[in-house]
Each structure stands twice: as structure tokens, then as C-alpha cells.
A and B are shown apart, each in its own frame.
Chain A
Amino acid sequence: MSETCDALVLGGGGAGCSAALHLAKRGLRVILLERGLVGGQASGVNYGGVRQQGRHAAELPIARRSREMWGRMREIAGTDAEFTVTTHLKLARNAEEEAELVAYLDIARDYGLSLRMVGSNSIHLEYPWLSNSVVAGSLSPEDGSANPRLLAPALAHAARAAGAVICEGTRIVELSYAGGMFLLRAEDGREFQAPLLLNVAGFWGGAVAEAFGEKAPVAPMSPNMMVTEPLPYFITPNIGVVGGNVYLRQIPRGNVIIGGGHGESDPSKPWSRALPEVSLQTQAHAVALVPELAGAHVIRSWSGIDGVTPDHLPVIGPSRTTPGLFHAFGFSGAGFQLGPAIGAIMTELMVDHATDVPLDAFRIDRFQTAAGDTP
């Protein structure tokens, strides 16, 4: 009746699929449980940025490690998931924003991420298609982009080959812990047991943690995404702006992928969609940045559901209530690049009980006040 294994992974996003792969490679019997198809929500429908620049300092060690893995993705997952080092160019549209870019240079340097400021003279020489509204940029030569539709399925495919069991279409409705074993029951009655449980359930990770008595405030967040028809390839870097109201990249096939703002969602279904007003506003921001995009046709829009925390940092680390439970969720719209490393790091925590990557900033009890409640 119930299937027993060494570790259960709850959630089939990039992090979960990477964890299933790494745990299986360490010889554990792993079952990954996914409500829909792997990579169906935030991991599969995001912008596809493989970006270190601009991240919170606490995330940089993970991002650095993940970037190294992205460079070996073909070896890890059997495909590069269209990962391309395009560079990432973060733009300032006024002096204040430029100062913010300059201030970040030191943070990046501390973590071995080399960035280059592109000043007001050279930026329009190097990137003549940028509008005059841009005053400076910060270039991250190592960053790039990948196809988000491929990463999680590729990692899951590799995990299967390594011996992990990937159960798609498996919605868990009951979670419990007794006698050193986690027991998860699916909607269709199947039961899964293991002494280790990894909660990588994205937005739904908050509810999973709560089932084991710990609160982490996670709200649903749906990136508002769209793509244009194929255009001649001219936007080579992955583009962001200080403040983040628009981000865009072009793939060599010609399509320009544009994000900004948030769509609407109903996590209970789950269902999500771009909002027309937000799409129009974001289009205006994109054209203001790259005037040549005026008149280009948007052919498709979409969204997904991610979990956002109050401080926009994920929850990563062991549970404070339940031995054998580990969390990695609430990536707040910035998890795609981190996914591969999260799988590796969680495997180290679960198998070796230690990792070199500092995780203190991500502990789950940071949201608790002195009284013990979430604020």
C-alpha cells in the first residue's frame, strides 16, 4: 500500500528535480512527488534569466555555485537547456540608479563576481539600440539565460536515469511524522514513507512547513511574462533595470522575452495568467528602453505561481521542529538560476549534515518575533 524510500522530495521544480538527481546519485532511494508535471509552475514558466548580478549578498554564494553547475549542465542533465552566456546588463536611468549600480560592485567583488561599469559615453557606443533614457549600466560577463521549459524536465529525466522515482500528477493531501518516518498521502490514496523529507514546494512550501508546526509567511506571486514574434537578433545581453519594472532578453531565434510586474493567480486550482493592463504597461517600459521594439508584435503571454517571502529571500535549511525535514522554498521570483545548486546543497545537508554554503540568512525561524509568532 505505502511506498517506502530513503528520501521524499515534495515539489518538482528545478530545485526539487536537482535534489532528486543528487540524492539518487548519492545512492538514496528517492521519490519525487509533483502535483502536476515537473517544472509546471515558477520553474518552468519564468523569464529564464541565469543571473547572479543584483542578487542579495546572502544569495551570491549559492548563485556562484549554481553558475558553475550551469556551465556543466550538459554533463549534469544531458542537455544545456539552451543555457547561453549572453552577459547580463543592468541599466540605470538616472544618477541615483547609477549610484546603486556602483555600490553593488563592491558586494559582487566580495563574492568573486566580476562586474564592469559601462558609463554614459560607452553604453550608447556599445549598445546603440538603447534609448537615451539609459545613463549607465553594469555588465556581468558570466551571466546569461536558458530555456526554463527545459530545465526541470531535463533534471527529472536525469534523476530517473539515476534511479529516482518521479511521480507526476501526484497531489499530496496529508502530511505527518511519527516514529522517525514521514508519511505523505496522495489524493488518489497512495502513501509514501521515508525518514527524510525535502520541502521544495514553491508557494505551497509555506503550507508544508505549517503542517509540521513552523510558520513561514509565503504569498503567491505571478510574474507577468510575454514574448514577441521573431525579430532580427540584436539584443545580445540579458537586460535588467534598477528597480526591476522591466526585464528582457532576445534569443537567437529572434523572439524577445519580456517580463515586468505581476499577473493574476489562483493557487487553489492552480491557475495563473498575465494581466492585460500590466502587459501594456510593461510593453511601454520595454519600448522606452529599446525604441526599436515599437511595433513588434507580442504573440503570447503567460504566468506561473511562485512564493514570495516578506524579505524576498527564500527559506533554506533544516526544520526547527522536525528532524529529517528540510526546506528550500519561497524563492520570491529569483529561483531559476539557483535551482541546480539548491539540489546539490540540500543533498549535502540531508546526507552529510553539513554544507560549505552559508545558509544562516535563510533559516525558517527568522520570521518569528520574540513572542514566537510571525509578524
Chain B
Amino acid sequence: MRIAVIGAGPAGVRAVETLVAAGHRPVWIDEAREGGGRIYQRPPQSLRRDARMLYGFEARKAEGVHATFERLAPVVDWRPETLVWHIRPQARRLSTQHQGRTQATVDYDAAILCTGAMDRVVPVPGWTLPGVTTMGAAQIALKTQGCSIGARVAFVGTGPLLYLVAYQYAKAGVTVAAVVDTTPFATKFAAAPGLLRGGATFVKGIYYIGWLRAHGVRVVEGATPVAINGTTDVQGLRWRGSDGREDLVACDAVGMGWGLKPEAQLADLAGVPFRFEPLQHSWIPECDTSGRTPVEGHYLAGDGAAIGGADVAELAGARAALALLQDAGQSVDAVRVAALDRALAGQQRFRIALERAFPYPAALAASVADETLLCRCEGLTAGELRAAAREDHDVGPAPEMNRAKAFTRVGMGRCQGRVCGPAAAEVLAASLGRDVASIGRLRGQSPVKPMPMLVPEATP
């Protein structure tokens, strides 16, 4: 049986581990040079240091994932630095490109897609300036390159990552100018009983916030970002407090992020239906609790299926592999399946509380100012998208996202709407006076990422 696993983060590692234990030798593909995914991304050899320093409380888990990856890579068909740019679910064929050069196809009988996540952002005036990055980017710079995104950094957004990254920066000696959380304290407080289910995870969150405050870092809750000041680089972050007063800190870099969103382009191309998940306020590919999708032979695990974090990803990776084995008629350890299901269900309850504690600020996204750049690839402003929703639009109003894309080019550029998609949907829905779940989502189109045209000789 030919099995393909795409992604070598925590979900992919545990999926492959389970498959190898059952006697399979899957094709294992990742864009990175080695395993770990984004959460446990490793620095290059010359920067490699103590795991405790790099991954903090998660050091043991990171080491576990890395060690398992090291053990598995030599015994499977490991293909690093390889982009899967197209998937044909009926033909069960992947199109891949290695190092931006070599084309290859991979035929499979079953595939597990562990494609991870990226930051979800809300456009703020000035957000395309050099010096503004996602929260994830700020963390990766520090973790894998020993660099901060600036000398004096402000963070804006919401979610556990906001406090974690601010804490990591401050611990590394970087001046954290401010932590601006768009969620009011009361919202988090109301979710606290549910968060307690998270046990250690919750305690760590409280610890980071307390540590930041104790070390004199300015933490603002319930704020609305107004602008990132600067013309060629970042000069400051402006926001409006919950009392309505505007405030400003000087900084030379801003990290921003409002939780994560699945990188689900391959699931989309594989024909997996999507549904709007109200709690995550996000379109996610459909699969059952064991990772089975409605498309036979195709499984999902980890943040690429629904945002759950690294611990869930490890569990879900193993569970999806077991589902695949079960569907292939192999006997699996029922006790292990039950234990994984229980653990996943427990995590799910914590997740619900977390989403309630740090909701996506849909109203903020919907109210992005007309002149603010919305689609950074196509240079499109929020006002231009709003115009396409009006009755007097010259080709008629766009009733849904893909029509808006066709009319305005929103989400049509290099990133294919990965970055602007969620905010663009809020802007369009609000302009149409409709619920965001009713206006569809940007459809995925091959190639999954930009692909260079090769000189004829190099094309097989």
C-alpha cells in the first residue's frame, strides 16, 4: 500500500511513526529541510542550542518529536525541501517540486495531510511596512535565528501566542514596548472555568501574563489598534483603549496575530468539503474525530484540519494513521485508539474555552478603513473591495467571495488569499449586510505556492 504523508510537524511525525510501526514505508514530504514543523522548527546546525532555551516549557515535547523524526526519516521515503503543489484525489497523484527545480509525481493509495497553520491577521494601517510581521514570524526569528524583529517591539492581537511571544522576547532581553490585546479582560475571565481544563497549558498562560506585568511590560486589554506609524519603517503603534482614549508607543517593529488558521489548500484541492466553524470563526475542512474526510483515502491531522495546537496535533497524527490502517483492513490496538479518542476529546473541551477567551475580532476586521491596504499581494484597499459589494458597482455587486475575487483581484496574488482572506470575508460580508458564513470562502487553486517556470530542458 502506497501511503503519502504531507507535513513533518508534530502531526506528521506521529502519523508516520504509527504507520512505520504497522510495517509501512510511506512517502513523507515537507517543504522544510527537516522535521519539527513550525512549532518545533529547529535552528540550523550552527545555531543549535539547549532545547530548554529554544522551546521553554515545551522542550521535552520538541525533543521527542525531533528524536522520532530522526529515527523515522531514514526508514521511510523522506523527501525534504519538497512542495506538493497539486493533488488529484481521483487519480491519487501528487505533483511535487523539489528545491524549486525538480518535478516529480507521487502516486498513492492513501494520504494524510498534516499541512499546519499560519497566523490570522487583521489589516491595520501601516501593516505592510518593513518591520511588521506576524506573531509566528516574531517567534520563528527568535527561536531559529536568535534574532528579534526589532530593538523595541510592540505586539498586537489576541490569543495565547501574544503573551508567549512577548514573554520570550522580554526574556531574551528585547524591549517589549507594549502588549496590546484586542480581547477585554472580562471575555477571558468569563472563559476561565473552561480554561482550567487545560491544566498546565492554562497555568503557563497565566504565568506569562503575570511575568510580563511584573517586569514592567505594558499590557493593554480590550484595545482597538488604530495604526502602525511610519512611512518607510515602523515608528510606533497607536491604539484606542477600552475607555475610548487613543494611545501610542514608540517602537521599531510590530508583531501581530489573532490566533491561527489552517493551511488547508491541499485539502481543498483534494476535494474535501469545508464548513464554517463558528467558534474558531474560520472555514475548516471536514473530517471526523479520527481525521477521516468524506474523500475516500484522504485523512487530515493537526492544525491543517482545525486549530488545536501541537499537543492535539501529535494525538491527531497518530489517530489519523490508525484510521487509515483500520480502513485498509489492518488490525489496530483498540485500547490505544480509545485512549487517543479520550485524550482528543479532553483537548477539544479546552480548545472551546480557549476560542471563547480569545475570539477573532470580526467587527474590527469588518471595519478596516477604506484606504487601508487589505490584499498585500495585489495592492487592493478595503474600500475597493467594499465598492464591489455595492449595487452601483459597474459590473453589479459581488454576492460572494470568489465573485469578489473575480471583480477586484482580492486574494488573487502570490499568497492566494492566505493572508487577507479572513479579513476580506469580514469586509465583504459586512458590506453586503450578511453573515460571514454565508458568503463562501476563497477556493484553492493549484499551484499551492508560486512555482517557477522552468526552461524546457529541465521539464520532464
Query: Which A residues are closer than 8 A to B by beta carbons?
Result: 37, 44, 78-79, 81, 149-150, 153-154, 156-157, 160, 168, 228-229, 273-274, 276, 279-281, 283-284, 286-288, 291, 293-302
* A-B contacts, 24 listed (Cβ < 8 Å): A79-B394, A81-B395, A153-B395, A153-B396, A153-B406, A154-B394, A154-B396, A157-B395, A273-B446, A276-B88, A276-B105, A276-B446, A286-B453, A287-B453, A287-B456, A293-B453, A294-B455, A295-B452, A296-B453, A297-B451, A298-B450, A300-B445, A300-B446, A301-B445
Q: Are B399 and A37 in contact (CB under 8 A)?
A: yes
> Which among B88, B407, B445, B453 is the interface contact of A149 at CB below 8 angstroms?
B407
B148: Cβ under 8 A from any A Cβ = no
Apart from A280-B459, A297-B450, list 15 A-B contacts with CB within 8 A.
Answer: A153-B406, A153-B407, A154-B395, A229-B413, A229-B414, A273-B446, A279-B446, A280-B460, A286-B453, A287-B456, A293-B453, A299-B450, A300-B416, A300-B446, A301-B445
Chain A residues whose CB sits within 8 angstroms of the CB of B86 once the complex forms: 276
A351 vs chain B, min Cβ distance (A): 25
Q: Are A287 and B455 in contact (CB under 8 A)?
A: yes
Q: A131 to B168: give the CA distance in the assembly, Å.
A: 54
A44 vs chain B, min Cβ distance (A): 7
B147 vs chain A, min Cβ distance (A): 27
Q: A116 to B49: give the CA distance in the assembly, Å.
A: 69
Query: CB-nearest residue of chain B relative to A148?
Result: B406
> Which among A44, A153, A154, A283 is the interface contact of B453 at CB below 8 angstroms?
A283
Query: Which B residues are closer than 8 A to A by beta carbons?
Result: 85-86, 88, 95, 103, 105, 394-396, 399, 403, 406-407, 412-414, 416, 445-447, 450-456, 459-460
Chain A residues whose CB sits within 8 angstroms of the CB of B413 once the complex forms: 229, 299
Chain A residues whose CB sits within 8 angstroms of the CB of B88 once the complex forms: 276
Q: A37 to B395: give the CA distance in the assembly, Å.
A: 13
Chain A residues whose CB sits within 8 angstroms of the CB of B447 once the complex forms: 298-301
Chain B residues whose CB sits within 8 angstroms of the CB of A157 once the complex forms: 394-396
Q: Are B454 and A283 in contact (CB under 8 A)?
A: yes
Q: Are B403 and A37 in contact (CB under 8 A)?
A: yes
Q: A301 to B443: give the CA distance in the assembly, Å.
A: 12
B49 vs chain A, min Cβ distance (A): 35
B48 vs chain A, min Cβ distance (A): 32
Q: Are B456 and A284 in contact (CB under 8 A)?
A: yes
B445 vs chain A, min Cβ distance (A): 5
Q: Which residue of A154, A291, A295, A299 has the most chain B CB atoms within 10 A of its CB atom?
A: A299
Chain B residues whose CB sits within 8 angstroms of the CB of A273 once the complex forms: 446
Beyond A299-B413, A300-B445, is A284–B454 a contact (Cβ under 8 Å)? yes
Query: CB-nearest residue of chain B relative to A45?
Result: B406
A152 vs chain B, min Cβ distance (A): 9
A151 vs chain B, min Cβ distance (A): 9
Beyond A286-B453, A298-B451, is A79–B395 a contact (Cβ under 8 Å)? yes
Q: Are B407 and A228 in contact (CB under 8 A)?
A: no
Chain A residues whose CB sits within 8 angstroms of the CB of B396 once the complex forms: 153-154, 156-157, 160
Q: Are B95 and A287 in contact (CB under 8 A)?
A: no
Q: Are B446 and A301 in contact (CB under 8 A)?
A: yes
Q: Are B459 and A284 in contact (CB under 8 A)?
A: yes
Q: Are A283 and B459 in contact (CB under 8 A)?
A: yes
Chain A residues whose CB sits within 8 angstroms of the CB of B452 once the complex forms: 295-298
Q: A234 to B407: give the CA distance in the assembly, Å.
A: 25
Q: A153 to B398: give the CA distance in the assembly, Å.
A: 9
Q: A276 to B455: give the CA distance in the assembly, Å.
A: 16
Chain A residues whose CB sits within 8 angstroms of the CB of B455 once the complex forms: 287, 291, 294
Q: Are B414 and A302 in contact (CB under 8 A)?
A: no
Q: Are A228 and B453 in contact (CB under 8 A)?
A: yes
Query: CB-nearest residue of chain A relative to B394?
Result: A79
Query: CB-nearest residue of chain B relative to A81?
Result: B395
B391 vs chain A, min Cβ distance (A): 10
Chain A residues whose CB sits within 8 angstroms of the CB of B95 once the complex forms: 276
Query: CB-nearest residue of chain A relative to B408?
Result: A149
Q: Are B407 and A78 in contact (CB under 8 A)?
A: no
B80 vs chain A, min Cβ distance (A): 21
Q: Are B454 and A294 in contact (CB under 8 A)?
A: yes
Chain A residues whose CB sits within 8 angstroms of the CB of B105 once the complex forms: 276
Q: A280 to B102: give the CA distance in the assembly, Å.
A: 12
Q: A154 to B403: give the CA distance in the assembly, Å.
A: 13
Q: Are B414 and A299 in contact (CB under 8 A)?
A: yes
B85 vs chain A, min Cβ distance (A): 8
Q: Are B453 and A300 in contact (CB under 8 A)?
A: no
Q: A302 to B406: give the CA distance in the assembly, Å.
A: 12
Q: A276 to B447: give the CA distance in the assembly, Å.
A: 9
Q: Are B453 and A302 in contact (CB under 8 A)?
A: no
Q: A90 to B403: give the CA distance in the assembly, Å.
A: 32
Chain A residues whose CB sits within 8 angstroms of the CB of B453 once the complex forms: 228, 283, 286-287, 293-298
Chain A residues whose CB sits within 8 angstroms of the CB of B445 once the complex forms: 300-302
Chain B residues whose CB sits within 8 angstroms of the CB of A150 once the complex forms: 395, 406-407
Chain A residues whose CB sits within 8 angstroms of the CB of B403 once the complex forms: 37, 153
Q: Are B450 and A229 in contact (CB under 8 A)?
A: yes
Q: A296 to B86: give the CA distance in the assembly, Å.
A: 18
Query: CB-nearest residue of chain B relative to A157?
Result: B396
B340 vs chain A, min Cβ distance (A): 35
Q: A168 to B397: give the CA distance in the assembly, Å.
A: 13
Beyond A283-B454, A286-B453, is A149–B406 a contact (Cβ under 8 Å)? yes
Query: CB-nearest residue of chain A relative to B103?
Result: A280
Q: Which residue of B105, B395, B412, B454 has the most chain A CB atoms within 10 A of its CB atom?
A: B395
Chain B residues whose CB sits within 8 angstroms of the CB of A281 once the complex forms: 459
Query: CB-nearest residue of chain B relative to A275?
Result: B88
Chain B residues whose CB sits within 8 angstroms of the CB of A280 once the complex forms: 103, 454, 459-460
Chain B residues whose CB sits within 8 angstroms of the CB of A295 once the complex forms: 452-453
Chain B residues whose CB sits within 8 angstroms of the CB of A286 once the complex forms: 453
B318 vs chain A, min Cβ distance (A): 31
Q: A273 to B93: give the CA distance in the assembly, Å.
A: 14
Query: CB-nearest residue of chain A relative to B450?
Result: A297
A316 vs chain B, min Cβ distance (A): 26
A60 vs chain B, min Cβ distance (A): 29
Q: A81 to B396: give the CA distance in the assembly, Å.
A: 12
Query: CB-nearest residue of chain B relative to A228?
Result: B453
Q: A79 to B85: give the CA distance in the assembly, Å.
A: 36
Q: A132 to B86: give the CA distance in the assembly, Å.
A: 33
Chain B residues whose CB sits within 8 angstroms of the CB of A297 once the complex forms: 414, 450-453
Q: A20 to B403: give the CA distance in the assembly, Å.
A: 21
Q: A294 to B414: give the CA distance in the assembly, Å.
A: 17
Query: CB-nearest residue of chain B relative to A166?
Result: B396
Query: CB-nearest residue of chain A relative to B86?
Result: A276
Query: CB-nearest residue of chain B relative to A285?
Result: B456
Q: A298 to B97: give the CA distance in the assembly, Å.
A: 13
A354 vs chain B, min Cβ distance (A): 32
Chain A residues whose CB sits within 8 angstroms of the CB of B414 once the complex forms: 229, 297, 299
Chain B residues whose CB sits within 8 angstroms of the CB of A229 once the complex forms: 413-414, 450
Chain A residues whose CB sits within 8 angstroms of the CB of B407 once the complex forms: 149-150, 153
Closest 4 CB pairs of A and B: A297-B450, A157-B396, A149-B406, A276-B95
Chain A residues whose CB sits within 8 angstroms of the CB of B399 once the complex forms: 37, 168
Chain A residues whose CB sits within 8 angstroms of the CB of B454 once the complex forms: 280, 283-284, 287, 294
